[in-house]
Structure 1
Amino acid sequence: MVVKRNRWTYLALVVITMLLGLGSRQFSGYLPKVINFYLGDALWALMIFFLFACIFRNKETFGVAAIAILFAYGIEISQLYHAPWIDALRQTTLGGLVLGYGFLWRDLAAYTIGVGIGALVDQKINLK
């Protein structure tokens, strides 16, 4: 199936997901602990999916999901690497949000959930 995504729709989804992710940190005290474990990382991966869907707007959903999950897993695996320059980058607000701080296996599950939700939303938006 040929997909032609509307860039503005997906940019809006990126911004909305970003705001939800930042908001999830503010309201973490009101959420159950099990949700707090996964929510921020799942929303981060969802935002990455929407960003790649915007960039690769003609690629099928599965292809976008594969790129997004590989990117997210790559960022997580990169957290096993510690050198002064990258750890200094991680200590900045933006660096911490993008690169994370330390490797956690559960983050891989959260990324899979986030990308999966993105793929489902993408399928719903692009059903003809």
Structure 2
Amino acid sequence: MLILNLQSRMIYCGAVLLATLLGLATRAYGNQLPHFVSEHFGDAIWAGMIYLASRVLLIRHPLWMSLVLSLCFSFGIEFSQLYQAEWILHVRATTLGSLILGHGFLWIDLVRYTAGILFCWTLDQILQN
């Protein structure tokens, strides 16, 4: 069981790395991608990466727990963008802060996050069976 958990964690870590690279690529090469892809996929991939990272941490727990946790985390980050204190604006002005916390609240981001998380959760369900 320990070996299986370690192997699963490694697979999820690889998936997190892949999602990170794909998400960054949508930003770096956005002008070369179809508009729909460059407009929506970065946020969806970011949220999918959050789901995959939660699986690394919650490997022994059911998939639905990672689904709920990643939705709550992603929505929490988005709603935190309504908070505009000077200190957090300075954090958001950094590259890492911008990638993690974003800049401005957008309702469409909640749809993007949900789509990315549901995609990863569905794929996870399929691959687990």
Query: Which TM-score bucket, shorter chain as reference?
Result: over 0.9
1:124 to partner: Cα distance? 2.2
Distance 2:40 2:116 in 1: 9
Could you tell me which residue of structure 1 aligns to residue 72 of structure 2?
70
Distance 1:34 1:106 in 2: 13
Distance 2:28 2:12 in 1: 24
Residue identity matched to 1:23: A
Q: Deviations over 1:15-63 (max 9, x none)?
A: 0000000111122112222222211100000000000011011121112
Distance 2:16 2:94 in 1: 21
Q: Which runs of 4+ in 1 moved over 6 A?
A: none
Query: Pick from 107, 110, 115: which aligns with 2:109?
Result: 107
Residue identity matched to 2:90: A
Calculate the TM-score normalised by the size of structure 2.
0.91
1:2-21 to 2 correspondence within 5 Å? Answer: 6-21=8-23
Distance 2:56 2:11 in 1: 8
Distance 1:53 1:122 in 2: 10
Calculate the TM-score normalised by the size of structure 1.
0.92
Greater relative contact order, per chain length (Cα 8 Å cut-off, separation 6+): 1
- What SS class does the counterpart of residue 17 from structure 1 fall into? helix
- What SS class does the counterpart of residue 8 from structure 1 fall into? helix
- Structure with greater helix percent: 2
Could you tell me which residue of structure 2 aligns to residue 119 of structure 1?
121
Could you tell me which residue of structure 1 aligns to residue 91 of structure 2?
89
CA RMSD of aligned residues (A): 1.5
Which runs of 5 or more structure 2 residues have no equivalent in the other structure?
Answer: none
Distance 1:125 1:13 in 2: 13
